[in-house]
């Protein structure tokens, strides 16, 4: 939310500086994200008077002006504005000034052969509005030679982040109230312009949907004159990032931004019959002010007349009944809408607005009458007209929350000692009614404070106004002795894997747990997605069923920005919806290797991409670090439709327990994520790794190297061409567990000398004697056991 210092001082009597006010807002929980000073943008622009204006000798549409800047001799300026003339006072940008609208630095130059010392500026060029038909014309009493920024009264602009639980601060007045309570000044009372009431309201106003719109207040004002807003109003809206439209529209926006109270003005001539808050009919349509057509459903609240819908209630008005320059009679609407209904409607329609932001968080139900009176007074004061009596259809919520509060609770919960009288003053300055005659106190929260639920919320109010910085930092009490470990086995496992992944040269990424639905469905594998009813955006609606899609989206962002090689991993949770509707989440490690494994060079020529074996190497190493029995893992297919069928596999303990999947991603997956480089991926299911046995005693045994030297023996087998080499390696290693400590494949060959349908696999077997060295008969017995075990897979020892 943005607002200027000038606007803030409309409601807060203060001598504090911009820096002091910003520090105070941060201190009381209103985070200042930035401060803009428009005066800096207007540096170098001066109030100047045109002394003479003569036709350019070589251009029909240009004039040569003699301009007085109040600093010596007049300057010569070439200007093409049609309203430039002798005697007028305008704004001159001198050499060195930067034009705010386009960032161009002004310099002394020659235009069609005539020297020009700067530029006479228009409203649009200085970003003060949209007018650009001519240069700015200032009043005759404007001080020539003065800085235009000082003359214009440019005020610093605060950009404040308002948390969703503080809708009472979504207006400048609410922020002023908090600052006054924090001792930064005095809150000014709201100035209500006076107006006369002339007769009953000529339009029937009612609410037929009390659940969605419990209160609908309104009145008619006839004989208004719409047009541009006065400077003070336009400047305040511009400081908030709003474009002034017309007086009637701007005043409704002003009420919303100043007091957090959305309102709407209808052109009465475009309405027919009664104006009603009701439920929409399924299939009804409305063209909103953003010129888009929305199809409504029966659970949405709308404002309609006898002809149809004119307003998506509490979110956006309709284009048909909006005010224009020709509007002379208006119907004002100020209502209280159900926050839940507003949020549901906005999400269904994908329609966001400043009004929705306030209504779905909860506006002040006690400000309907005052809001209507204030808006009526401003319109009649600035646009003229006569106001009818107000119509009150329904009633807003009026049950204030009453809380039993013990002031001693502030010390106990907040950790800070605040005098009892100071606590009472703070609460009262924020609008709470405090009955301190009882013990404990009875505190009644103002209706605008929807976030107040109990005593803890009152402690928060006291502490933040008293000063969070004054809360002492106190260490938690700790018992004597060595602290017991608090990390769970799962946390320890994740720490080991995280360190191992980083040690292998992978960069850790942290991606959203939410995904766009299409990307999530691509990795759902037929499961039921866990989708959110209230997502942070429509592009973040599905909880991720896999770690890979988030990493792929991160890879795409980096590749699109020129990254040639990417090695990223993430440890997080996959989320699923069980058949009974309950949620299910599983710890998972994802790895993505994208682009080049090695750049092109004199030895390799072309760049070397990552392949499925690189993914397998990462999977095996990280599984071992996670505690999986890597030597027992089986390589099997069916990694998933997202992977290339010939370049991917799973790692399993038995046929059903899948610990990981790895391989090259399918071209269709890369196409779905719009990635133009080769990508391999790994997904390790940490929850599937069996825990260690032995009651949690994981101490390592003392290192005791064998006394005798190991023995190497090579075996070459002819095996079926479709037999996985890993299966042969595993069965050979298990042929004699007492003597064989390792088996390593060092050659695979198919071709000349090898029968068709066969391949040759050579394995190096490491034997380790224990008590005595091997004899020939010992080695022969071991070799026979190796050959016999390999024979179970159809392997034959090569001659």
Binding residues for Mg(2+): 451, 457, 460-461
Say if residues 592 and 559 touch (Cβ distance below 8 Å): no
- For 782, other C-beta atoms within 10 Å of its C-beta total 20
Any bridge partners for residue 279, and if so which? 301
Q: Output the CA–CA distances (angstroms, integers) from residue 176 to 363, 365, 440, 462, in the order listed.
A: 17, 19, 30, 17
Q: Of 637, 588, 581, which is closest to residue 612 (Cα–Cα)?
A: 637
Kind plus residue range of the DSSP H or E element containing 293? strand 293-295
Say if residues 675 and 556 touch (Cβ distance below 8 Å): yes
| Rounded Cα distance, 385 and 197, in Å | 10
- For 122, other C-beta atoms within 10 Å of its C-beta total 21
The three-class DSSP label of residue 709 is coil
- Alpha carbon 421 to its chain centroid, in Å, reads 41
The three-class DSSP label of residue 508 is strand
Residue whose tokens read 């003229």: 384
Which residues does the annotation place in the binding site? 451, 457, 460-461
454 half-sphere exposure, CB direction, 13 A CA radius: 3
| CA angle (565, 568, 569) in 5-degree steps | 160
| Rounded Cα distance, 451 and 166, in Å | 7
| CA angle (443, 444, 449) in 5-degree steps | 120
| Rounded Cα distance, 599 and 424, in Å | 70
Burial of residue 268 (number of CB atoms within 10 Å: 0-12, 13-18, 19+): buried
Residues 6+ apart with CB under 8 A from 221: 329, 330, 332, 376, 379, 380, 385, 386, 387, 388
Kind plus residue range of the DSSP H or E element containing 333? strand 330-337
Using the Cα atoms of residue 122, residue 126, residue 132 and residue 137 in order, give the sign of their dihedral: negative
| Rounded Cα distance, 512 and 540, in Å | 8
Say if residues 50 and 65 touch (Cβ distance below 8 Å): yes
| Rounded Cα distance, 48 and 148, in Å | 9
DSSP letter for 631, please: G
Name the token pair of 424: 């009472």
118 half-sphere exposure, CB direction, 13 A CA radius: 24
Say if residues 568 and 591 touch (Cβ distance below 8 Å): yes
Residues 6+ apart with CB under 8 A from 370: 190, 192
- Residue 260 φ/ψ region, left for φ over 0, alpha for ψ in the -120 to 50 degree band, beta for the rest: left
DSSP letter for 163, please: P
Residues 6+ apart with CB under 8 A from 667: 644
């Amino acid at each position: 939310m943005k607002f200027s210092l000038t606007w803030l001082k409309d409601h807060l009597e203060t001598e504090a500086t911009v820096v002091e006010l910003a520090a105070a807002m941060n201190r009381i929980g209103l985070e200042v994200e930035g401060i803009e000073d428009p005066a800096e943008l207007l540096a170098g622009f001066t109030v100047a008077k045109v002394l003479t204006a003569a036709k350019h000798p070589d251009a029909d549409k240009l004039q040569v002006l003699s301009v007085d800047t109040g600093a010596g001799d007049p300057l010569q300026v070439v200007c093409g504005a049609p309203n430039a003339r002798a005697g007028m006072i305008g704004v001159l940008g001198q050499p060195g000034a930067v034009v705010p609208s386009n960032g161009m630095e002004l310099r002394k130059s020659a235009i069609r052969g005539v020297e020009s010392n700067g530029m006479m500026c228009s409203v649009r060029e200085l970003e003060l509005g949209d007018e650009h038909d001519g240069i700015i014309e200032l009043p005759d009493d404007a001080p020539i030679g003065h800085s235009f920024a000082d003359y214009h009264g440019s005020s610093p602009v605060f950009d404040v982040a308002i948390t969703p639980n503080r809708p009472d601060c979504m207006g400048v007045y609410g922020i002023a109230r908090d600052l006054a309570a924090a001792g930064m000044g005095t809150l000014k009372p709201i100035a209500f312009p006076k107006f006369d009431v002339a007769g009953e309201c000529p339009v029937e106003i009612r609410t037929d949907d009390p659940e969605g719109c419990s209160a609908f207040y309104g009145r008619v004002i006839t004989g208004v004159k719409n047009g541009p807003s006065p400077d003070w109003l336009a400047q305040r809206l511009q400081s908030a990032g709003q474009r002034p439209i017309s007086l009637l529209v701007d005043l409704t926006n002003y009420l919303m931004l100043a007091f957090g109270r959305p309102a709407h003005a209808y052109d009465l001539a475009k309405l027919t019959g009664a104006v009603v808050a009701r439920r929409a009919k399924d299939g009804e349509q409305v063209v909103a002010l953003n010129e888009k057509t929305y199809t409504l459903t029966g659970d949405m609240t709308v404002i309609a007349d006898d002809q149809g819908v004119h307003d998506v209630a509490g979110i956006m008005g309709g284009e048909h009944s909006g005010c224009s320059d020709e509007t002379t009679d208006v119907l004002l609407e100020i209502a209280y809408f159900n926050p839940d209904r507003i949020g549901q409607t906005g999400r269904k329609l994908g329609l966001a607005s400043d009004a929705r932001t306030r209504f779905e968080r909860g506006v002040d139900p006690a400000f309907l009458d005052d809001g209507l009176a204030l808006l009526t007074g401003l319109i009649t004061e600035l646009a003229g007209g006569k106001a009818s009596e107000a119509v009150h259809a329904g009633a807003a919520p009026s049950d204030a929350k009453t809380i039993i509060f013990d002031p001693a609770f502030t010390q106990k919960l907040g950790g800070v000692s605040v005098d009892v009288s100071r606590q009472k003053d703070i609460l009262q300055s924020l609008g709470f009614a405090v009955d301190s005659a009882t013990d404990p106190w009875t505190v009644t929260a103002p209706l605008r404070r929807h976030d107040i639920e109990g005593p803890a919320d009152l402690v928060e109010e006291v502490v933040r106004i008293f000063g969070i910085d004054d809360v002492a930092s106190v260490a938690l009490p700790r018992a004597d002795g060595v602290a017991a470990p608090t990390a769970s086995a799962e946390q320890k496992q994740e720490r080991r894997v995280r360190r191992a992944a980083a040690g292998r040269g992978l960069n850790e990424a942290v991606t959203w747990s939410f995904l766009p639905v299409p990307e999530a469905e691509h990795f759902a594998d037929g499961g039921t997605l866990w989708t959110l009813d209230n997502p942070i955006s429509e592009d973040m609606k599905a909880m991720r069923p896999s770690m890979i899609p988030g990493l792929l989206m991160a890879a795409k962002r980096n590749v699109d920005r020129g990254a040639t090689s990417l090695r990223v991993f993430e440890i997080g949770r996959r989320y699923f919806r069980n058949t009974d509707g309950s949620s299910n989440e599983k710890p998972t490690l994802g790895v993505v290797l994208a682009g080049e494994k090695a750049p092109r060079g004199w030895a390799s020529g072309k760049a070397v991409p990552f392949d499925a074996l690189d993914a397998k190497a990462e999977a095996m190493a990280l599984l071992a670090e996670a505690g999986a029995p890597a030597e027992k893992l089986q390589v099997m297919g069916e990694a998933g439709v997202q992977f290339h069928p010939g370049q991917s596999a799973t790692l399993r303990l038995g046929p059903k327990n899948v610990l990981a999947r790895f391989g090259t991603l399918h071209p269709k997956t890369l196409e779905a994520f719009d990635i133009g480089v080769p990508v391999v991926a790994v997904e390790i299911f940490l929850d599937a790794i069996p825990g260690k046995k032995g009651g949690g005693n994981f101490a390592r045994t003392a290192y005791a190297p064998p006394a005798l030297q190991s023995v190497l023996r090579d075996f070459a087998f002819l095996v079926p061409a479709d037999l996985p080499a890993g299966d042969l390696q595993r069965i050979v290693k298990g042929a004699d567990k007492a003597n064989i400590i390792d088996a390593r494949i060092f050659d695979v060959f198919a071709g000349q000398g090898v029968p068709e349908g066969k391949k040759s696999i050579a394995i190096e077997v490491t034997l380790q004697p224990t008590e005595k060295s091997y004899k020939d008969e010992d080695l022969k017995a071991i070799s026979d056991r190796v050959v016999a075990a390999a024979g179970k897979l159809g392997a034959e020892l090569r001659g």
